[in-house]
């Protein structure tokens, strides 16, 4: 009986030592791991350490599509007067090609390029940066520089206004189709 107990204790100590030295056991601290189960599950799935099944299971990560972001949609809509060189939703940037106005007769060697950088998906004044660049060419000698122009402020304002309208339109559609009241008036009649 004592030999069996001694063998069991030895085996237990050896197993614990083996698992600890191989890295199976890892010390965990509250600041490193969230206490809330939902937050912990979400973090593990984001890091690729787990899987999910059931109602909320997805095959991969959650993806935001450009068509669902009112700020992105409005920027593309406002910049429709000029061809785009680069429009990267995941990179958060829109760059136009060099362009000049048709009625620019006195200064035909001047072209502009607009860059819109997205800092946030929220519709607010500091969510986007609009930059305007100017290229001037004189006899095969071209100079490019960033300029301050009223165009920056006007484009930014136009993008934010259109984004607010797109967001309101999206909210109205949600309220009519999926919202709590499903198209019913929220205002109570007395």
CA neighbor of 80 nearest in space, from 65, 66, 94: 94
- Per-residue pLDDT at 179: 59
Averaged pLDDT score across all residues of the chain: 77
Q: Is the pLDDT of residue 52 over 60?
A: no
User: Is 3.40.50 the CATH classification of the domain at 66-177?
Assistant: no
State the sign of the Cα–Cα–Cα–Cα dihedral 88, 83, 77, 108. Answer: positive
Going by their DSSP bridges, the two strands 84-88 and 110-118 should be labelled as unpaired
Q: How many H-runs (helices) and E-runs (strands) does the chain carry?
A: 4, 5
Every domain of the chain and the residues it spans? 2-46, 66-177
**E strand or H helix that includes residue 172:** helix 150-177
Global model pTM greater than 0.75:
no
Q: Is the pLDDT of residue 96 over 60?
A: yes
CA neighbor of 162 nearest in space, from 80, 50, 52: 80
176 versus 181: the higher-pLDDT residue is 176
Cα–Cα distance, 62 to 52 (Å, whole number): 13
Cα–Cα distance, 85 to 97 (Å, whole number): 5
List, for residues 99-136, the tens digit of each pLDDT value. Answer: 987 665 455 678 999 999 998 888 888 999 999 999 98
């Amino acid at each position: 009986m004592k030999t069996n107990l001694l063998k069991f204790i030895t085996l237990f100590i050896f197993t614990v030592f083996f698992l600890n030295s191989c890295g199976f056991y890892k010390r965990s601290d509250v600041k490193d791991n969230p206490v809330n189960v939902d937050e912990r599950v979400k973090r593990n799935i984001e890091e690729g350490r787990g899987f999910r099944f059931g109602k909320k299971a997805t095959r991969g990560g959650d993806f935001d599509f450009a068509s669902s972001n009112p700020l992105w949609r409005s920027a593309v809509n406002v910049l429709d007067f000029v061809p785009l060189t680069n429009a990267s939703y995941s990179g958060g940037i829109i760059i136009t090609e060099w362009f000049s106005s048709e009625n620019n007769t006195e200064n035909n060697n001047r072209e502009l390029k607009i860059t819109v950088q997205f800092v946030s998906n929220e519709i607010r004044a500091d969510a986007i940066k609009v930059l305007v660049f100017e290229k001037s060419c004189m006899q095969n000698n071209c100079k490019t520089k960033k300029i301050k122009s009223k165009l920056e402020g006007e484009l930014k304002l136009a993008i934010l206004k259109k984004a607010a309208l797109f967001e309101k339109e999206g909210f109205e559609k949600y309220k009519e189709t999926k919202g709590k009241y499903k198209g019913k008036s929220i205002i109570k009649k007395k």
